[in-house]
Amino acid sequence: MNEDRLTYRDAGVDVHSGDDFVHAIAQAVASTHDSQSGRILKGSADFAGLFRLGGEYEDPVLVSGTDGVGTKLLLAQEFERHDSVGIDLVAMCVNDILTTGAEPLFFLDYIATGRIDQNVLKAAVSGIAQGCREAGCALIGGETAEMPDMYGPGVYDLAGFAVGVVERRKLDDRPPVKAGDAILALPSSGIHSNGYSLVRKVFESKGKRDFAAERLGLPVENVLLEPTRIYANGAGSVRGEEGISGIAHITGGGIPGNVSRVIPDGLQARFYPEKWEMPEIFPLIQELGPVESAEMYRTFNMGLGFVFLARAERAGYLLECLRNAGEQAMVVGEVAPRTKDGHSVVIESI
pLDDT tens per residue, range 32-78:
988 887 888 875 557 888 899 887 889 999 999 999 999 999 999 99
Q: Which contacts qualify for 216-220: CB closer than 8 Å, 24 or more apart?
A: 216/280, 216/281, 216/284
Question: At which of 146, 172, 198 does a domain end?
Answer: 172
Same domain, yes or no: 122 and 140: yes
Q: Residue 200 belongs to what H/E stretch?
A: helix 196-202
Contact 129, 23 (CB under 8 A): no
The residue-averaged pLDDT of 85-91 equals 98
Could you tell me which residues are beta bridge partners of residue 158? Answer: 111
Region of poorest pLDDT, from 15-24, 117-126, 333-342 = 15-24
The residue-averaged pLDDT of 231-236 equals 98
Confidence of residue 349 (pLDDT cuts 50, 70, 90): confident
Q: So what's the pLDDT on residue 3? A: 61
Same domain, yes or no: 147 and 213: no
Q: For the chain, what is the domain count? A: 2
CB atoms inside a 10 Å sphere around CB 294: 12
Q: Is 52 domain-assigned?
A: no
Same domain, yes or no: 335 and 229: yes
Confidence of residue 15 (pLDDT cuts 50, 70, 90): confident
**Residue 157 pLDDT > 60, yes or no?**
yes
Q: So what's the pLDDT on residue 25? A: 85
Same domain, yes or no: 94 and 212: no
Q: So what's the pLDDT on residue 161? A: 98
Q: Is 289 domain-assigned?
A: yes
Spatial neighbors of 15 by CB under 8 A, at least 6 apart, are 8, 9
What percent of the chain is predicted at pLDDT more than 70? Answer: 98
Same domain, yes or no: 195 and 106: no
Same domain, yes or no: 112 and 208: no
Contact 111, 143 (CB under 8 A): yes
Region of poorest pLDDT, from 12-21, 108-117, 118-127, 223-232 = 12-21
The residue-averaged pLDDT of 330-339 equals 96
Could you tell me which residues are beta bridge partners of residue 128? Answer: none
Q: Is 51 domain-assigned?
A: no
The residue-averaged pLDDT of 209-229 equals 96
Q: Is 255 domain-assigned?
A: yes
Same domain, yes or no: 271 and 164: no
Cα(201)–Cα(118) distance, integer angstroms:
30
Q: So what's the pLDDT on residue 45? A: 54
Is it true that the peptide bond before 283 is cis, omega within 30 degrees of 0? no
Same domain, yes or no: 223 and 145: no
DSSP 273: G
Q: Is 316 domain-assigned?
A: yes
Q: So what's the pLDDT on residue 2? A: 56
Same domain, yes or no: 160 and 231: no
Domain extent for 289: 182-347
What percent of the chain is predicted at pLDDT more than 90? Answer: 81
**Residue 12 pLDDT > 80, yes or no?**
no
Q: What is the dihedral of CA 154, 94, 284, 73, to 10 degrees?
A: 10
Same domain, yes or no: 320 and 339: yes
Contact 297, 347 (CB under 8 A): yes
Cα(277)–Cα(281) distance, integer angstroms:
12
Contact 60, 131 (CB under 8 A): no
Cα(104)–Cα(83) distance, integer angstroms:
21
Question: At which of 172, 191, 220 does a domain end?
Answer: 172
Same domain, yes or no: 97 and 149: yes
Same domain, yes or no: 31 and 166: yes
pLDDT, the chain, mean: 93
Spatial neighbors of 50 by CB under 8 A, at least 6 apart, are 40, 41, 42, 43, 140
